[in-house]
Structure 1
Amino acid sequence: MMRNREIQVLLIILTSICLTSTVLAIFFFSLPVALYIFLTKTIFVIVFFYFTKWRYREIEKLSNYLRKITNGDYNLDIRDNVEGELSILKNDIYKVTLMLSEQSSYLQQDKVRLTNAISDISHQLKTPLTSMMVMADLLSHPNLDVAKRKEFTHNIQAQLERIEWLVTSLLKLAKIDADIVQFKKDSVPANVLVQKALQSVLIPMDIKQVSLKVSGDDDVSFLVDLNWTSEALINILKNCIEHTGEGGSISISFVENTLYTELKIQDSGKGILKEDLPYIFKRFYKGKNAGEESVGIGLALSYSIIKSQQGDIEVKSEIGVGTTFLIKFYKQII
């Protein structure tokens, strides 16, 4: 404490005042009065000295506490319920500590998620890249017949399209996670939304001869971003088509009430196993009935898009009967 210049100056001033008042008391009054003044002033200086020493000791504790915080130790508790500016300072520092602790925890979670995502992406890209490398090596063989050359070329193109879709979907998910996507809130007629989504899946439906039924009132509308929401529906419809056999059916219906607008997509496919249902919206999760080409990213993207627009999605399924996706967009945040 004595290293502080302000304390040194203050002690010199107090000592000077004490000595000066004592000398003046001897001169104008008597020796006993001067002695009394001297003792009183001395006690005052001593009390002030120890009180200041205590305050500086508390400040030193706070400094040590802050140093520990900078080293990542957020477990200390310095809250003080006593009145006073020092107690208020302790409580404020503790609040900042809690905030820093939460931020550190979030950053750690983000690092874990990033590590897992990179690992998953590497795993997903490894298979098609290895396949393309093998086929490219075979294509360089001069004696390869034309039919095989066409087959390998077609397979490489298919793998490249798969990689492009995967990377694009992951970039979209990353933007949604980073909260940098600005979703519009337009009143979109249900028929317009459904027809826009169906445009991308009509050909695969026709190839598998899957019948389609769309029902709902013309005045039903959604308060959503048309482009992003149609992409969410496309991924759900692709999933339904993938799990529906030839000659199956898909039905789409929509209703509206005072709380929300609901869209129901139902297929007559093979269904989803009960143990897979809680995880089908997890990234890179592939159920036991998933196809070989499935990556496990489409439904996760749909889930993120819908949730980011104050929506909700749930799935019901029965093996051998089919799967139903229920999508609700609430008219206000609940």
Structure 2
Amino acid sequence: MKKNLSTNGIYIGVCAAFLVLTVCFHIIVFYHTENPIIRGTAIVFSLLVLLLGIILILLLKGKLVAFSDSLNACIDDIVNGKEDVAFDLESETLTGKFNYKLQRLYEIMQNGKRQVQEEKQSIQEMVSDISHQVKTPITNLKMYNSTLLERHLMPEKAWEFHKLMESQIDKLDFLMQAMVKMSRLETGVITLSVSPAPIYDTIGLALSGIERTAEQKNMEVNVECDSAIIVPHDKKWTAEALFNILDNAVKYTPSVGKISVTVECWEMTTRIDISDTGRGIPEQHYAQIFKRFYREDEVHDISGVGVGLYLCREIISKQGGYIQIKSEIGKGSTFSVFLPNERQL
């Protein structure tokens, strides 16, 4: 069975070997000469060499012990989760090289720890948001159902309650579908298939989703887009993103309002402007409206769960694009979607 030598064992072995060599050297000298000066010189030389060897071994042992202690101290600090671990990176020594490697390992571990904490916090926030969003429609459904079971209502009134229940069920269904889309995008289950395609067709697909609602509100919808503009994008998911912006424009624009879509092809990007004549968005809320489940207090009377713009930003950013917003209270908003003209690797 193979055994590993300890550090002390190595020191003892080296000293023993050095001592044996010294004795052999003396035997050879004493065997070949009887000159007392030569013999005395050999003895003094051997003793000096032996002394220097012992000093060298002790110095080496001290260095190794100091290196081991420093290494152990760093590892202990890392294992114990110390925030500010001291690394000796200035000296050009073996300790400095090991400390550099340890620092890289420590940074990777810290980044991993932060990522886990952020993901944990994100999951907690999502669970909290979902429970908050689901609570209201479920409470309403229970109330409507109890009323139908406990009271004898006229057929017209019962039909009205059934319609109210249907609207709450539709809200829950929409919420579940939105959550499935979010989870698939965030976890990478869905990968966007980006390829060159006419952006005109994608805009048409997005507009088809709001056509009926805009017609019911007697809204004017104008599109200015050259059918020859080709942009690398995922047609299905980009249409989903543009639909979410258009859907908000229809929701928050009064009847007989106006929505316009304008497309411009620039050197590096293609810009898609979606403008409305709606209520507008305060400037301090520009960043917040893209957060998951965020809704302004003033619009809680309008149907929605606050995930459309969040999904829109996720979809566009995953294609290397970005979104800008410009709005004026009481006059409307413009959402500008920028998609790169070259496919992002």
Residue type matched to 2:26 in 1?
A
Q: Sequence identity, in percent?
A: 24
Counterparts in 2 of 1:244 and 1:272: CA distance versus 1, 3 Å = same
Output one character per residue of 1:192-233: Cα deviation in whole Å (capped at 9) or x when no partner: 111111121111112111121112222123211011011111
Per the alignment, residue 26 of structure 2 pairs with 25
Deviation at 1:253, TM superposition (A): 1.6
Question: Bigger radius of gyration, 1 or 2?
Answer: 2
Using the alignment, how far apart are the partners of 1:312 and 1:265 within structure 2? Answer: 14
Unaligned runs of 5+ in 1: none
Count of equivalent residues? 332
Deviation at 1:61, TM superposition (A): 2.5
Q: Secondary structure at the match of 2:287?
A: helix
Once the two structures are superposed, the pairs formed by residues 96-245 of structure 1 within 5 Å of their partners are 96-141=105-150, 143-245=152-254
Counterparts in 2 of 1:17 and 1:320: CA distance versus 1, 3 Å = closer
Deviation at 1:13, TM superposition (A): 4.1
Between 241-250 and 215-224, report the one with greater CA deviation.
215-224
Q: 1:298 aligns with which of 304, 308, 330?
A: 308
Per the alignment, residue 341 of structure 2 pairs with 331
Structure 1's consecutive aligned runs of 4 or more residues displaced over 3 angstroms after TM superposition are: none
Residue type matched to 1:260 in 2?
T
- Equivalent pair of 2:199/2:230 in contact (CA under 8 Å): yes
Using the alignment, how far apart are the partners of 2:296 and 2:322 within structure 1? Answer: 21
Q: Secondary structure at the match of 1:40?
A: helix
Query: Under a length normalisation based on structure 1, what TM-score does the superposition of the two structures give?
Result: 0.91
Is 1:69–2:78 an aligned residue pair?
yes
Using the alignment, how far apart are the partners of 2:13 and 2:338 within structure 1? Answer: 77
- Equivalent pair of 2:281/2:329 in contact (CA under 8 Å): yes
Q: Secondary structure at the match of 1:38?
A: helix
Per the alignment, residue 257 of structure 1 pairs with 266
Query: Under a length normalisation based on structure 2, what TM-score does the superposition of the two structures give?
Result: 0.88
Counterparts in 2 of 1:11 and 1:201: CA distance versus 1, 3 Å = same
Per the alignment, residue 310 of structure 1 pairs with 320
Deviation at 1:113, TM superposition (A): 1.8
Using the alignment, how far apart are the partners of 1:280 and 1:136 within structure 2? Answer: 34
